[in-house]
């Protein structure tokens, strides 16, 4: 009888998304190996060997040795695993240094590769890549010069938002006339400004060759954050086939087997793309729409191909 294939999970089972995927995989005919980056390094020693008679590289998971060639798929969900770890602690430094090298040698399907996951580490760069795949993108300015920011505000007729440049989550806010005197502060830190595009928000999850689109209607500027004065409704929708193929092409072009693409549909029916989340928290949308995104991800991991 053939042995069950290994599926590797990188992260912590205290992280809700990884725990959810782990629970679903536990029902499949696979052997799960969890590398918890919250644990001390000696809990998951890695052995590499090359040359004649050296043997194959493997991971040590408890008392079990797992040859890398037997790993069918890897799912990475680090989330906030490293956050809160004492800065400069030996384990934290070791984790950060070994992680890219580990991912570079993993066989099979990796969701998502290290280089691809870093794509949203700088949003201006990612926006440039998105435009290369034919998507409309909002006019964008990154500057530390107050005068340039004011010019941009005028060119966009006062319809401007500002947001984080890095992958760190920030609340998207409108720039108002009252904010203009505060532009002097950006001399100390570059800020990303974008033309505000009115319309309806869409979160599109691409899982391999499958597309799950959710439409979000809200009175809040940033639908991820609502208060007592705003409302939010989320429902599953079907995208035009051409747009579905474009989203799949974007994810594939960025090297992502799993992606959360943020779109907005204007009143004129045009679609704008703002960014691509390389490690989306898809369960939030599942809860509101009933879409089986997690099942699609698990099926893909078990296949080992997109």
Write down the CATH number for the domain with range 118-134+199-303.
3.30.470.20
Using alpha carbons, select from 288, 244, 276, 225 the residue that is nearest to residue 112: 276
Q: Where are the beta strands (DSSP E) in 220-257?
A: 232-237
Note down pLDDT in tens along the chain; length 306 residues. Answer: 456 889 999 888 889 999 999 999 999 999 998 887 666 655 666 665 555 566 677 777 667 778 888 899 999 987 655 554 545 455 555 665 666 666 767 789 999 988 888 877 788 999 999 999 999 999 999 999 999 999 999 999 999 999 888 777 778 899 999 999 999 999 998 999 999 999 999 999 999 999 999 999 876 655 555 654 455 789 999 999 999 999 999 999 999 999 999 999 999 999 999 999 999 999 999 999 999 999 999 999 999 999
Q: Which CATH architecture group holds 140-195? A: 2-Layer Sandwich (3.30)
Do 118-134+199-303 and 140-195 share a fold? no
pTM: 0.89
For residue 105, give the H/E element and its range: helix 90-105
The residue extents of the domains of the chain are: 6-107, 118-134+199-303, 140-195
């Amino acid at each position: 009888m053939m042995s069950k294939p290994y599926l590797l999970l990188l992260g912590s089972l205290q992280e809700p998304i990884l725990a959810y995927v782990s629970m679903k995989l536990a029902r499949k005919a696979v052997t799960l190996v969890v590398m918890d980056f919250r644990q001390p390094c000696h809990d998951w020693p890695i052995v590499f060997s090359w040359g004649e008679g050296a043997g194959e590289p493997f991971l040590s998971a408890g008392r079990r040795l797992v040859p890398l060639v037997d790993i069918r798929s890897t799912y990475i969900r680090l989330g906030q695993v490293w956050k809160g770890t004492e800065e400069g602690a030996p384990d934290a430094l070791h984790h950060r240094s070994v992680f890219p090298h580990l991912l570079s040698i993993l066989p099979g399907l990796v969701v998502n590769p290290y280089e691809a996951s870093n794509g949203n580490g700088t949003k201006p760069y990612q926006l440039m890549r998105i435009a290369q795949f034919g998507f409309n993108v909002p006019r964008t300015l990154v500057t530390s010069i107050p005068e340039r920011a004011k010019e941009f505000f005028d060119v966009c007729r006062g319809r401007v938002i500002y947001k984080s440049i890095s992958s760190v989550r920030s609340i998207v806010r409108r720039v108002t006339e009252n904010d203009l005197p505060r532009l002097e502060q950006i001399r100390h830190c570059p800020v990303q400004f974008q033309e505000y595009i009115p319309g309806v928000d869409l979160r599109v999850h691409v899982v391999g060759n499958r597309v799950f689109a959710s439409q979000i209607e809200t009175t809040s500027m940033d639908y991820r954050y609502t208060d007592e004065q705003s409302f939010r409704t989320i429902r599953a929708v079907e995208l035009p086939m051409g747009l579905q193929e474009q989203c799949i092409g974007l994810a594939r072009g960025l090297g992502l087997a799993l992606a959360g693409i943020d779109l907005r549909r204007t009143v004129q029916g045009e679609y704008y793309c703002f960014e691509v989340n390389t490690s989306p928290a898809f369960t939030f949308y599942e809860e509101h729409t009933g879409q089986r995104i997690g099942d699609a991800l698990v099926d893909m991991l078990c296949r080992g191909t997109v």
